């Protein structure tokens, strides 16, 4: 197969599009797999020889013994989750060893971030994963964050932690009426983490740019999805990072000229976990059925995902924002057996038809989807490996998505395993 430069794999819905499987598939041809944003809120599921792996922080490339994996400066690191993940991988005989690197400028999620995340949820109800992601990024932007490199010097870490303790405890105790947080305990715990992290912490921007100069091939693994992006998502029901392709540059310290391809990943229908609008949400009975058929439960929190029809306005917006040239459609097999399918092609809003996804949540909340109906297919698609072998109705469904979204589909996934995939002619790798 032909290598077409470095590639960004990005979710074009509300996350959980099946990026883990697509990254696992494409990582075969990459030298480095790098993450640029998000943290332990992600849950990338990969099936290998009938074993299921769920990775929250470490890039999916780690499952290949020779791939280098990087967590960039834009990622927020929860060392406890990271070590649990590393230990779990080791139990499976997968060693992280000297092919894993963490940016010295990546911010650390500390216990008070998780406490604030949980406490704020009680009143704000954004449906966060409560992994402390939002509060960690808030401190980063507020310039009081603690970075991985700070953990490497006890005095620097102590100083910064102590400075934060007063403010954090005031907020926790006085505003949220929570128990306080003991900075001395954290100091000891995170000092130990720092020692364990030490061999992996480095200037990953330098590392990755050198690797690029040497002609190494890089796969940029997106986490969450474009509709959860802090700028382009359904604000405020979003995560706190740039989950769209633009975040790759700032989250890893590379220039846009280093990226040659952007592949958008879309599920054949739509899901979202947590609060916030989902205009094409199924009726409760279909919702329940699809959740069971598609095993739609959050990989990080176990929460049931809300399910709905494919929304062309969502995918078209994401394709535009990311500059995606092609799409991977996942979980097509989950639609097998449905009599009819719907695709949302517009929204009714106060007597008008909107043809583009609105940016204001207040508008979106009043929108009613306008659907186009298509015939379903009654055959199983899981064993199909060539596009021409898909049922005619399934091909029609995919063609219609291409027309509505304006880009070609290059990969169709018909099952969780790596080989349950159809690669199309326009897929260049
Ligand atoms: P946070 O990222 O934990 O702050 O959560 C903010 C929103 O993003 C919530 O609706 C979460 O359910 C959602 N979210 C965060 N990470 C993921 C993910 O990896 N997949 C799907 N939804 C996510």
pLDDT for the residue 44: 85
Chain segment 62-100, per-residue pLDDT in tens: 999 999 999 999 999 999 999 999 999 999 899 998 999
CA separation for the pair 173, 176 (Å, rounded): 6
The closest residue, in CA terms, to atom 15 on ligand 1 is 41
Query: Rounded to two decimals, what is the model's pTM?
Result: 0.96
The CATH number for 7-103+200-262, chosen from 3.40.50.150, 3.30.70.1230, 3.40.440.10, 3.90.950.10, is: 3.40.440.10
Closest residue by Cα to residue 106 from 192, 202, 226, 32: 202
Q: Which residues line ligand 1 (CB under 6 A)?
A: 15-16, 41-43, 126-129, 131, 133-134, 223-224, 228, 237, 239-240, 273-274
What distance in Å separates the CA atoms of residue 384 and residue 332, rounded to the nearest whole number? 11
* Mutate-to-test residue for ligand 1 from 12, 13, 15, 39, highest number of ligand atoms within 8 A of CB: 15
In sequence order, what are the residues at sequence separation of 6 or more whose Cβ sits closer than 8 angstroms to the Cβ of residue 145?
107, 108, 136, 139
Domain 107-197: top CATH class: mainly alpha
Identical fold for domains 107-197 and 265-423, yes or no, is no
Q: What is the DSSP letter of 106?
A: P
Write down the residue that tokens 């990072």 correspond to: 241
Residue 325 in contact with residue 262, Cβ under 8 Å? yes
The CATH classification number of 265-423 equals 3.90.170.10
Listed by start position, the domains of the chain span: 7-103+200-262, 107-197, 265-423
pLDDT score recorded for residue 2: 53
Q: Ligand 1 pocket test: which of 11, 14, 20, 41 has the largest number of ligand atoms within 8 Å of its C-beta?
A: 41
The alpha carbon of 52 and the centre of ligand 1 are apart by a number of angstroms equal to 21
Which residues face 330 on adjacent strands? Answer: 267
| Cβ–Cβ < 8 Å for 303, 328 | no
| Residues of the chain predicted below pLDDT 70 | 1-3, 429
Q: How far is the CA of 43 from the centre of ligand 1 (A)?
A: 10
Give pLDDT, residue 1. Answer: 44
Cα–Cα distance for residue pair 52/46, rounded to 1 Å: 6
Q: Identify whether the C-beta of residue 297 lies closer than 8 Å to the C-beta of residue 307.
A: no
CA–CA gap between residue 112 and residue 172 (Å, rounded): 8
DSSP state of 108: E
Helix (H, G, I), strand (E, B) or coil at 124: helix
Residues 74, 163: Cα–Cα separation, whole Å:
23
């Amino acid at each position: 197969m032909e290598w077409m430069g470095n590639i960004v794999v990005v979710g074009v819905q509300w996350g959980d599009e099946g990026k883990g499987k697509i990254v696992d598939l494409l990582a075969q041809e990459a030298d480095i797999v790098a993450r640029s944003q998000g943290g332990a809120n992600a849950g990338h599921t990969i099936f290998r020889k009938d074993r299921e792996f769920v990775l929250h922080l470490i890039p999916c490339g780690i499952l290949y013994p020779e791939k280098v994996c990087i967590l960039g400066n834009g990622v927020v690191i929860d060392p406890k989750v990271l070590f649990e993940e590393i230990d779990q991988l080791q139990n499976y005989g997968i060693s992280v060893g000297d092919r894993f690197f963490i940016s010295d400028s990546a911010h650390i999620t500390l216990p008070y971030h998780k406490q604030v995340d949980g406490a704020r949820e009680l009143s704000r109800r954004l449906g966060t994963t409560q992994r402390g992601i939002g509060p960690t990024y808030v401190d980063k932007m507020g310039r009081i964050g603690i970075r991985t490199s700070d953990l490497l010097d006890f005095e620097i870490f102590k100083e910064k932690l102590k400075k934060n303790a007063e403010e954090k405890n005031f907020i926790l105790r006085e505003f949220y009426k929570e128990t306080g947080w003991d900075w001395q305990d954290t100091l000891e715990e995170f000092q130990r983490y720092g020692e364990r992290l030490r061999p992996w912490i480095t200037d990953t921007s330098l590392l990755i740019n050198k690797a690029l100069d040497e002609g190494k091939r890089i796969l940029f693994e997106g986490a969450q999805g474009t509709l959860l992006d802090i700028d382009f998502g359904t604000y405020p029901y979003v995560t706190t990072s740039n989950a769209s392709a633009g975040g790759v540059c700032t989250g890893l310290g590379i220039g846009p000229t280093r990226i040659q391809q952007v592949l958008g990943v879309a599920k054949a229908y739509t899901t979202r976990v947590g609060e916030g609008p989902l205009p094409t949400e199924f009726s409760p009975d279909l919702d329940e059925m699809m959740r069971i058929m598609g095993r739609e439960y959050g990989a990080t929190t176990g929460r049931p995902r809300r399910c709905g029809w494919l929304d062309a306005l969502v995918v078209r917006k994401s394709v535009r924002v990311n500059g995606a040239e092609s799409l991977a459609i996942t979980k097509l097999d989950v639609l097998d057996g449905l009599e009819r399918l719907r695709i949302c092609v517009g929204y009714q809003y106060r007597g008008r038809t909107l043809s583009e996804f609105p940016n204001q949540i207040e508008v979106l909340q009043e929108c009613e989807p306008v659907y186009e109906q298509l015939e379903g297919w009654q055959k199983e698609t899981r064993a199909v490996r060539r596009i021409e072998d898909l049922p005619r109705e399934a091909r029609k469904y995919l063609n219609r998505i291409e027309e509505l979204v304006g880009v070609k589909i290059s990969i169709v996934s018909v099952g969780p395993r790596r080989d349950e995939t159809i690669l199309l002619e326009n897929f260049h790798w």
